[in-house]
Amino acid sequence: MLRHLSRFALFLALGLAGLPVVVASQPGEYQIKAAYLINFARYVEWPASRLPLGAVLRLCVLGRDPFGGALLGLDGRQVQGREVRFRPVDSLEQALECHLVFVSGSEERRLGLILRGLAGRGVLSVSDIEGFAEVGGGIGMVTEDDRVRFDINQATLARDGLRASSQLLRLGRQVFGTERTSR
C-alpha cells in the first residue's frame, strides 16, 4: 500500500514537473475547433447567389473570441479555390454579412434571438454551445471523451440553402432533421 502510494506521489511529481511541456505538445481545444471551421467551409456548399465563384468567404466570430488568435492564423487561407477572411463581429447585422458564423459561448443567453435572425439568410452557424444543433443551429461542436465531434442539423442547413457533403454527414455524431439519428 505504502509503496503504491509513494509511486503514485512520484508519478504526480513527475507529471507536475513535465506539465508545461506536455500541455504544449498537444493541440488545445480551440486550435482543433479552428481547424474544424476550415473543414466546414470546405465541405459545405453555399448557394451561388450568396457566395459567387471565387468570392471571398467571410468567417466570423460573434461575441467574445475564444480562439486566442488561432483564427487569425487562418486569415487569407485558400479553401476550394477561394480566400478565407476572418473577422470578429459584435452584432447580428454584422453577422449577416458573413458566410460562416461561429457563435461564441458568450452569446448563449441570446441564442434564440441569434438563430432567429440568421434563419433563411444563407449563413452557416457553428457553435460549441451545448445542444446548439438540436435547438436549430447549423453545426454544433461537442467535446466527448476528450475528442471534438460535431452534430449537424440538416433541416436548418436545407432551410438556409446550404448543402453539406455526404462526408460531413457521415462523420457527424448526430444528424438532426433527417431520419438518421444516431445514439
Partner 1 sequence: MTIRFAHCFLVPALCCGLAARAQDASLADLSLEELVRLDVTAVSRKAQKLSDTPAAVTVLSAADIRRSGARSVPEALREVPGVIVAQIGAGRWSVGVRGGEGRFSNKLLVQIDGRSIYSPLFSGVFWEALDVVLEDIERIEVIRGPGASLWGANAVNGVINIITRKATATVGSLVSATVDDGGHSSLSVRQGISLGDAGALRVFAKGSELGGSRTRDGASEPDYNRGWLAGFRMDGAGSGVDAWTLQGNSSRRTSGENIIATSLTGEPAPLSLDFVFESASLLGRYNWGLAGGEASIQAYVDHQFANVGTYGKGTVNTADLDFQHRLVPYGVHEIMWGLGGRMLQTEIAAASSVLSITPPRRQSRVFSAFVQDEITLVPQTWKLTVGGRFEYSSRSRFEPQPTARLMWTPNMEDSVWASWSRAARTPSIGESDATILFGAQPTPPGSPFPMVVLASRPGEGWNRRAERVDTLELGYRRNLGNGSFEAVLFHNDYHRLISEQTDPNGLVFPTSPLPVAPFVAPIQYLQRGSQSAARSHGIEVGADLPLTAALRLQASYTLMDTRVRRSADAAANATARHLEESAPQHWGSLRMTVNLGGGQEFDVAARRVGAIGTGDVPAYTAVDLRYAWRVNRYFDLYFIAQNLFDPLHLEYVSNFFPGQPVYQPRRAFIQGVWRF
Shorter beta-carbon distance to partner 1: residue 12 or 48:
12
- Joined grid coordinates for residue 35: 481547424
Q: Are 154 and 167 in contact (CB under 8 A)?
A: no
Smallest distance, partner 1 to C-beta of residue 68, A = 7
Smallest distance, partner 1 to C-beta of residue 149, A = 6
Asked if 176 touches partner 1 (CB under 8 A), the answer is yes
Of residues 89-118, those binding partner 1 (CB under 8 A): 90-92, 104-106, 108-110, 112-113, 115-117
Classify 48 as helix, strand or coil.
coil
For cell 475528442, name the residue: 147
The piece of 50-58, 59-67, 94-102 that touches partner 1 (CB under 8 A) is: 59-67
Classify 122 as helix, strand or coil.
coil
Asked if 135 touches partner 1 (CB under 8 A), the answer is yes
**Interface mask (CB under 8 A) for partner 1, residues 154-173, using x and -?**
xxx--x-------xx--x--
**How many CB atoms are located within 10 Å of the residue 48 CB?**
10
Q: Are 32 and 66 in contact (CB under 8 A)?
A: no
Asked if 122 touches partner 1 (CB under 8 A), the answer is no
CA distance 7 to 154: 51
Asked if 52 touches partner 1 (CB under 8 A), the answer is no
- Joined grid coordinates for residue 161: 440553402
| # binding residues, partner 1 (CB under 8 A) | 73
Instruction: Name the nearest CA neighbour of 162 among 111, 121, 114.
Output: 121
Smallest distance, partner 1 to C-beta of residue 93, A = 9
Among 6, 9, 10, 27, interactor with partner 1 by CB under 8 A: 27
